[in-house]
Structure 1
């Protein structure tokens, strides 16, 4: 891909949501083609319907597969030949089915290097469930398909929040958090900050599992028995990890500004402050995969779907984040390769003893 535009694979998400709108309104700005070559996985009929519905003047090129994408054009791969009946704002089985088809085709192209990065428009976690798709969301599916230790990493310019547990019921959170999980998630975020964001020595803060970090066991023992000893072990190995901090005051006090990333114990502990501080500018990035995938930080927004009211800010940020991370990874890989090449070779020992 050197010397060529980065190929951007896009899955359309639930057709009854705002995914199609934010995708096409983002690409309505022709300057986007200066940064990337978009490849939308849907159908020409579906895209034509959406363009007419939202009164958008965009030209696109239909292609049989992503490897046939034309640079300088918006490309559409025909994943289906029928013409779906889009019911904006409704949760339907058809909406989930087409979302799966689009996502599966986009991921397949990503695995085959027919596209360089993946942007996923929002899905509905209820209607996407099927015999061949039994995942709570994108992250778990991508982890299976792209061989990694995936981690939901919410990122913006000034705030990055990772999660120890993501789509886990509250009653099961404490049993999921182990020393092994904490260590794994820390290493994944640390490596991502170095490789994907160019931060040489990341400073990472942990939030406590229980209110007030358990108050020395009064409000729960998980912090004292699991989290704190694991962080001490990581620090003993030279890692810059801090905490745990009480979550209720950490963001309001501005303490988050002192760190390159924060690791929250569970979904709402991390995502509520992130979306409060960065909504519309935040990006959902899946760290720990062998490919780059980003998504906007919002859902299908059925309540405004089809009305032309969707804000494209987060989707556009997801596009730029994917492009930036892809470039950072390429630079990191090139740098690593150069360092390895410059390392002196060890002398080979023949195994023969000297004669006397």
Structure 2
């Protein structure tokens, strides 16, 4: 980490007609948060002052026009724009989507140049952000283009970590998208992330099957037998501790997920439905595999409650905590990797399984 007083947490404001502004400001209404990090919200101080009044919050906002003017122990708001913005809570609006992207691209630019240490993104609407200059199905795909590494959506909570072989892929395209090469790449990514970002020395990874009951020996599809199982055998032969494939329908309900450091699901809903059922409101979306740290809450814009001052901000707060912890763990790992002699003085860093 650079010689800063605290980790600088950059925050993209997300969809302004959703609950993003509410959960961000409520997170930092607790002044103790400023002891852990220095927040920089990429938006407009005038607009956030409007939200502050709208939600009747006791927060002090510090507007800046340059990142070099960041002040620790304050809620910094970098003015990405200064013109007034019309807010209509709960309404899907392409103009509002454009402001969400202005915030995101400015924050990612600062992340790439290390002017901020980590990025926490408030929820966006995947529909109203689309334009000629921004054509991505979500944060993860955009970050994969802008940052170095192989991105992987990893949902994390206190009791589980769930990664995906395919994320924002239509169901009809899943089986043809999953190849031996993809499986190898994703498992390598999650294995390395568990080591460097979570301090797990020898990760144990479970993989869920592609088809119901792993295809039942070809009765319900043959991808598990022809693609997934041979790929996992090869990965095991290379020394990684990988188990499966497991039938997905009983894996979480039986509590088997508790026996592993991470679970890899074949597609979006196979992994995220059980994860959000078990951890909704406290889970965090982490983009693993990249050279920078990005997290977000495990929910969307919540248009139905936007502006009602009732949004639960626990997941966003957990996203901030997770970003800080992952950043610190990775920095320690990188330091040890540069100088292995320091390992003896860093006892307790790695988790033995």
Normalising by structure 2, we get a TM-score of 0.95
Partner of 2:222: 221
Deviation at 1:72, TM superposition (A): 1.1
Partners in 1 of 2:135 and 2:4 — Cα distance?
A: 39
Partner of 1:111: 112
- Count the aligned residue pairs: 342
CA contact (8 A) 2:49 2:61 kept: no
Structure 1: unaligned runs, 5 residues or longer:
343-356
Can you list the C-alpha shifts for 1:76-122, whole angstroms capped at 9, x where unaligned?
A: 00001111001100000111010000000100111111100000000
Partner of 1:167: 168
CA contact (8 A) 1:42 1:80 kept: yes
Partner of 2:19: 18
Alignment of 1:75-94 (within 5 A): 75-94=76-95
Q: 1:269 aligned to 2:259?
A: no
CA contact (8 A) 1:284 1:297 kept: yes
Deviation at 1:341, TM superposition (A): 9.5
Structure 2: unaligned runs, 5 residues or longer:
344-353
CA contact (8 A) 2:52 2:59 kept: yes
- 3-state SS, counterpart of residue 215 of structure 2: helix
Q: 1:278 aligned to 2:302?
A: no
Partners in 1 of 2:133 and 2:52 — Cα distance?
A: 31
Partner of 1:50: 51
Partner of 1:300: 301
- 3-state SS, counterpart of residue 294 of structure 2: strand
Partners in 2 of 1:299 and 1:148 — Cα distance?
A: 26
Partner of 1:338: 339
Partner of 2:350: none
CA contact (8 A) 2:62 2:75 kept: yes
Can you list the C-alpha shifts for 1:224-248, whole angstroms capped at 9, x where unaligned?
A: 0000000011111111000000000
- 3-state SS, counterpart of residue 149 of structure 1: strand
- 3-state SS, counterpart of residue 15 of structure 1: coil
Alignment of 1:1-356 (within 5 A): 1-2=2-3, 4-339=5-340
Partners in 2 of 1:54 and 1:153 — Cα distance?
A: 32
Partner of 1:349: none
Deviation at 1:3, TM superposition (A): 5.5
Deviation at 1:131, TM superposition (A): 1.1
Can you list the C-alpha shifts for 1:177-200, whole angstroms capped at 9, x where unaligned?
A: 000000000000000000000001
Deviation at 1:147, TM superposition (A): 2.1
Partners in 2 of 1:291 and 1:152 — Cα distance?
A: 14
Deviation at 1:67, TM superposition (A): 2.8
Deviation at 1:44, TM superposition (A): 1.0
Partner of 1:352: none
Partners in 2 of 1:298 and 1:67 — Cα distance?
A: 32
CA contact (8 A) 2:98 2:129 kept: yes
Partners in 2 of 1:18 and 1:324 — Cα distance?
A: 25
Deviation at 1:290, TM superposition (A): 0.5
Deviation at 1:132, TM superposition (A): 1.1
CA contact (8 A) 1:117 1:291 kept: yes
Normalising by structure 1, we get a TM-score of 0.95
CA contact (8 A) 1:67 1:115 kept: no
Can you list the C-alpha shifts for 1:7-55, whole angstroms capped at 9, x where unaligned?
A: 0000000000000000000000000000000000000111011001000
